[in-house]
């Protein structure tokens, strides 16, 4: 499994795109999607709500378990992926493309986000 080099990663298995006009896209990694199993329900943060880096902002339910969703950054949610709400399996089939979860206007980005190579090392073995 390869993690896109242009993204940054949290130790909680979320990815973050580079900001465009101050807004970044958030999703979960392929590693996390595989560990969860088939995602059947996604509760995402509401547009306009504030998320805080490292804190719970939603949850993903799979056939195996329920997992908290953590925000990798602090900021205001500007958009949620309604396609994922309607078809949560997108998280499994396209975690880095159509399975993104929400967009956030970044107010603060933690210094401990990982590069693709660092995340790969973190999840190896």
User: For residue 88, what are its two tokens?
Assistant: 């949560």
Task: Measure the CA–CA gap between 84 and 58, rounded to whole angstroms.
Answer: 13
Q: What is the DSSP letter of 64?
A: S
Take residue 78 and report the two structure tokens written for it. Answer: 């500007």
Dump pLDDT digits (tens) for 28-47: 999 999 999 999 999 999 99
* Residue 63 burial (10 A CB sphere; 0-12, 13-18, 19+): exposed
User: 16 - beta bridge partners?
Assistant: 8, 26
Cα–Cα distance list, 44 to 54, 71, 78, 83 (Å) = 15, 11, 12, 12
Mean confidence (pLDDT) of the chain: 95
Whether this prediction's pTM lies above 0.85 is answered by yes
């Amino acid at each position: 499994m390869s993690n896109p080099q242009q993204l940054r990663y949290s130790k909680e298995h979320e990815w973050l795109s580079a900001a465009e006009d101050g807004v970044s896209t958030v999703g979960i990694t392929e590693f996390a999607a595989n560990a969860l199993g088939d995602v059947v329900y996604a509760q995402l943060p509401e547009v306009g709500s504030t998320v805080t880096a490292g804190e719970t902002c939603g949850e993903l339910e799979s056939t195996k378990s329920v997992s908290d969703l953590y925000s990798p950054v602090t900021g205001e949610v500007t958009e949620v992926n309604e396609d994922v709400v309607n078809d949560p399996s997108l998280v499994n089939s396209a975690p880095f493309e159509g399975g993104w979860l929400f967009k956030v206007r970044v107010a603060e980005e933690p210094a401990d986000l990982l590069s693709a190579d660092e995340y790969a090392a973190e999840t190896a073995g």
